[in-house]
Structure 1
Amino acid sequence: MLLNADRLDLLARIAEMYYESNLTQDQIAKITGYSRSMVSRLLTEARRQGVVEIRINHPMQRRRDLEQALQARLGLDEVWVMVRGTLAHNEMLRRLGILAARFLEAHLHDYMTLGTSWGTAVYETVNALQQRSFRGIRVVQMIGALGTPNPDIDGPELARRMARALTGQYATLPVPLIVDSEATRKALMQAPHIQRVVQYFHHIDLALVGVGTVEPEYASLLRAGYLTTEQLEDLRTAGAVGDVCAIHITLDGTLVDTPLTRCIMGIDAATLRKVPIRIGVAGGQAKALPIIAASRSGLINRLVTDEVAATFALRALEEGLPSYDDTTNSNHR
């Protein structure tokens, strides 16, 4: 239900007295002339309508030993590793997003251009950003939209949400992630309304990206219906173990070149590598090898992850990276 400005103002005034002035509901009732039960209902409505947002900031414990080891082994500029404990995957992602938001906020300043990709980890990071006011902030969607059943995790909505949180402007890339041919991609990328957005790519100061995997059980592009099982297998056969901004990469960080990868709409690897701060956010065992690949490719230079992904990544590095055939065979067992 849409509320008029007067109703929203009333909800805000009641909420301000309760949450900011620390008045009791009885005190608010006496001041406003409403009954105590009415005050209680208005406070509930304020939360339901988004006038009040309650955020619980859990203390984020970190594994400094894993951070130092990963930073040294992968040549990254910064690494934060979250203590996961017994958290289930969804709760891990939510907590990881909170940690990544604090990491991102530490690098923000006025007159920045920010780039964002898509996915659950990026969504959780954007969702955990504290409302702050910056001058001259612009947020740019770096890859085409997926049109997923859940638009909250897609590029256009994430760019808008991040811009709102930082009181900035945003620019969306009004194209699908994958088009039908290389010729179509070339034509679209040269269209004036697309070029206006693409030009922002060269001015991005900080990029927030997820790190994808090609393991069928966890491959976001497959789950979103953007890749078929056959297309995913073609990428695996070509050596891909993961992706950043749908740029697929091998274990040693080499870019994968297939007919499909030439149809991706979005920022290219060379441009992404020129972004000064490139923050990858990913957690869980399935992201261990993709994190290594993303780091070696130069597509990320900072990482926020959990202790599970960090431990498995370090184990792979210490034992010697498996060949792609080894990972393929293990995935099919």
Structure 2
Amino acid sequence: MRHDDRTPTGDVRQYDLTRRIYRALVMHYVEGLKQAEIARLTGQSIATVSRLIKQGHDLGMVEITVRAPFQPSLELERRLARAAGLMEALVVPNLSANDEVALASVGEAAAGLLLSRLKDGDTICISGGKGVSALVAGLNPARRYDVSVVPATGLVEGPLYTDVNYVAAQMAEKLGGRAHRIHAPMFADTVDQRAMLIDMRSTRDILDRARHADIAVVGVGSVTPAGSSYYDLHPELADDRTEIERSGAEAELLAHLLDGAGRVCRYQMNDRLVAVTPEELSRVPFSMGVAVGPAKIGPIRAVLRGRHLKGLVTDETTADAVLPGLEAEAPAARS
């Protein structure tokens, strides 16, 4: 069904197109890059870059300087990418005060970013979670993609958005690709059982595919709020809050607890995980996080400090709250 440009969906799509035009104009006219260089850096074709630049001219965005209709969000993107060392930051305008609408808008924008980088033959590894599920819901590709979608973690019982096999199957169906399933649990009962599960051929093959993916799409989880969905991943976690607090955990990434600096915490359940590690995630050519909301401010900041992601999609309010701590640390990080 076609959406009217006046709907929230249309607003997000128009915003995504405008920011892509703006970025191409800045890279070409301000940074002095050739269209082929812009295409390589943004994962687009030269023809697409040329079309974006032409659209910018047609829209009157090029004079002596480059004008941006969504300047506040675009400025937040520039600052966030610079402070966190990201290849891509996408900050969605707050179109509604409703949390579900905000998540849907961010998910649709993240879907657009994924499609702008996706090409036939790619492998996408994913986590479960509300952010990734929102991206899948927002997918509306213009064509089918010959791609593979693989889980980056083991399985956990719970709502559908936590079932990584289900989310992978939904993404593959929308893209026209293939989904691979994992049959191991997210948490092993013991460290020895984890080693056995990791060594099983079926599990090893799935996780190897995930480690060598071209694109990763993951959620960023909170830990400290009483209602954090992290505690729904395993029955033992709910009784382990004291130890979790003692570990210094501030974020969850691929079910790993991370401290405020983005380092994997010394916590016994981390040692029993059947999942790609944050360090392995950081080696994926383009790893994209999707997260929004007040509970995600600290976790996003921790994950970005750890340099585990190359891209982030969030909303204006969340980005504006994440930035101060990162920008204060940026000079020290670059020295």
TM-score clears 0.5? yes
CA distance in 2, matches of 1:236, 1:86: 34
2:314 corresponding residue in structure 1: 305
CA distance in 1, matches of 2:84, 2:144: 33
1:114 corresponding residue in structure 2: 124
* 3-state SS of paired residue (1:272): helix
> Which letter does structure 2 place at the counterpart of 1:259?
Q
2:83–2:327 Cα contact (<8 Å) kept: no
TM-aligned CA deviation for residue 248 of structure 1:
1.8
Task: Give unpaired runs (5+ residues) of structure 1.
Answer: 1-18, 21-54, 322-333
198, 204, 207: which is aligned to 2:213? 204
> Which letter does structure 1 place at the counterpart of 2:131?
A
1:281 corresponding residue in structure 2: 290
TM-aligned CA deviation for residue 133 of structure 1:
4.0
1:119–1:210 Cα contact (<8 Å) kept: yes
CA distance in 2, matches of 1:134, 1:100: 18
Task: Give the aligned length.
Answer: 268
Superposition pairs of residues 214-229 of structure 1, within 5 angstroms: 214-223=223-232, 226=235, 228-229=237-238
Q: Which has the higher helix share?
A: 2
2:11 corresponding residue in structure 1: 59
* 3-state SS of paired residue (2:308): coil
CA distance in 2, matches of 1:78, 1:317: 16
1:124 corresponding residue in structure 2: 134
Spell out, residue by residue over 1:16-52, the C-alpha distance to the aligned partner (whole angstroms, 9 max, x if none): xxx89xxxxxxxxxxxxxxxxxxxxxxxxxxxxxxxx
The verdict on how the C-alpha distance between 1:248 and 1:152 changes in structure 2, with shifts beyond 3 A counting, is: closer
> Which letter does structure 1 place at the counterpart of 2:244?
L
Structure index of larger Rg: 1
2:124–2:210 Cα contact (<8 Å) kept: no
- Which 10-residue stretch deviates more, 112-121 or 265-274? 265-274
271, 274, 283: which is aligned to 1:262? 271
CA distance in 1, matches of 2:327, 2:201: 49
* 3-state SS of paired residue (1:278): strand
TM-aligned CA deviation for residue 233 of structure 1:
3.6
CA distance in 1, matches of 2:156, 2:241: 16
TM-aligned CA deviation for residue 92 of structure 1:
1.1
> Which letter does structure 2 place at the counterpart of 1:315?
P
TM-aligned CA deviation for residue 271 of structure 1:
2.0
TM-aligned CA deviation for residue 226 of structure 1:
5.0
The verdict on how the C-alpha distance between 1:87 and 1:227 changes in structure 2, with shifts beyond 3 A counting, is: farther
1:154 corresponding residue in structure 2: 163
1:94 corresponding residue in structure 2: 104
1:132–1:167 Cα contact (<8 Å) kept: no
- Which 10-residue stretch deviates more, 309-318 or 94-103? 309-318
Q: CA RMSD in A?
A: 2.3
CA distance in 2, matches of 1:143, 1:65: 34
1:146–1:226 Cα contact (<8 Å) kept: no
2:67 corresponding residue in structure 1: none
> Which letter does structure 2 place at the counterpart of 1:305?
T
